[in-house]
């Protein structure tokens, strides 16, 4: 179901990727139980970082790892910006369909970059690879995009489904019809295997609030070593 290219292993020998596949999920536009957990998480985040300002926040080891990666491409880690908006601007985790909201909650809690896809729209296997900068795929909302050369990306039998810098594709996005889902986590050098495992477990926990009977088909952290 998931494999690593030789190029990725050679380019990112100390990085990891996490994969969570769940079947029998639901994706309602709203979920009351998840809404309560989201409010509690936002309050906990503000308490956790109550003595932080931006310069201190950037010393967080996971944010430092992503910052080092994004700086190579002259970009800023967007999950960091989302966390800052919650802590410093009083904003909330976005109100979106439940499965995506569950992913966002775990993402802003653990700070690990995650993409969610409808498993039914994917042509397996998935391959973690390195972009050459000549490829192209369609982002959410229909914009064509060429990935940055050297960026991590995940491809299936039809093409790219996500890259770190530009995010997920349109073709495999989670929808109201999604019954089976795959979440993928990009973890550059400096993010531990244990951190990725906890993150996947948190996503599973949130998804099973929405769909208690959902089952895990695969939960695994991959690395070159």
- pLDDT tens sequence across 20-49: 999 999 999 999 999 999 999 999 999 998
Model pLDDT for residues 171-182, shown as the tens digit of each residue = 999 999 999 999
Per-residue pLDDT for 57 more than 90? no
**What CATH number corresponds to the domain at position 188?**
3.50.40.10
Which long-range contacts does 44-48 make (Cβ < 8 Å, 24+ apart)? 45/83, 45/86, 45/87, 45/108, 45/109, 46/86, 46/87
pLDDT for residue 132:
98
The range of the structural domain enclosing residue 140 comes to 2-223
Query: In the chain, pLDDT over 90 holds for what percent of residues?
Result: 91
Q: What pLDDT score was predicted for residue 39?
A: 95
Domain count of the fold of the chain: 1
At 83 the pLDDT is 93
Under the banding of pLDDT at 50, 70 and 90, the label for residue 161 is very high
What is the pTM assigned to this prediction? 0.96
């Amino acid at each position: 179901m998931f494999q690593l290219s030789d190029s990725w292993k050679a380019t990112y020998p100390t990085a990891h990727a996490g994969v969570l596949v769940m079947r029998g999920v639901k994706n309602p536009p709203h979920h009351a139980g998840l809404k309560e957990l989201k409010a509690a998480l936002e309050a906990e985040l503000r308490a956790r970082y109550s003595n932080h300002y931006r310069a201190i926040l950037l010393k967080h080891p996971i944010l430092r790892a992503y910052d080092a990666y994004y700086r190579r491409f002259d970009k800023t880690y967007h999950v960091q910006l989302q966390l800052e908006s919650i802590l410093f601007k009083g904003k909330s985790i976005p109100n979106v369909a439940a499965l995506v909201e569950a992913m966002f909650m775990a993402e802003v809690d653990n700070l690990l970059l995650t993409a969610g896809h409808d498993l039914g729209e994917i042509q397996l296997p998935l391959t973690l690879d390195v972009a050459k900068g000549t490829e192209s795929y369609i982002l959410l909302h229909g914009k064509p995009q060429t990935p940055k050369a050297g960026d991590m990306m995940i491809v299936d039998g039809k093409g790219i489904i996500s890259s770190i810098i530009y995010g997920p594709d349109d073709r495999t996005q989670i929808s109201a019809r999604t019954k089976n889902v795959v979440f993928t986590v990009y973890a550059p050098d400096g993010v531990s295997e244990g951190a990725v495992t906890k993150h996947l477990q948190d996503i599973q926990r949130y998804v099973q609030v929405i769909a208690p009977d959902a089952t895990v088909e695969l939960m695994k952290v991959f690395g070159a070593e």
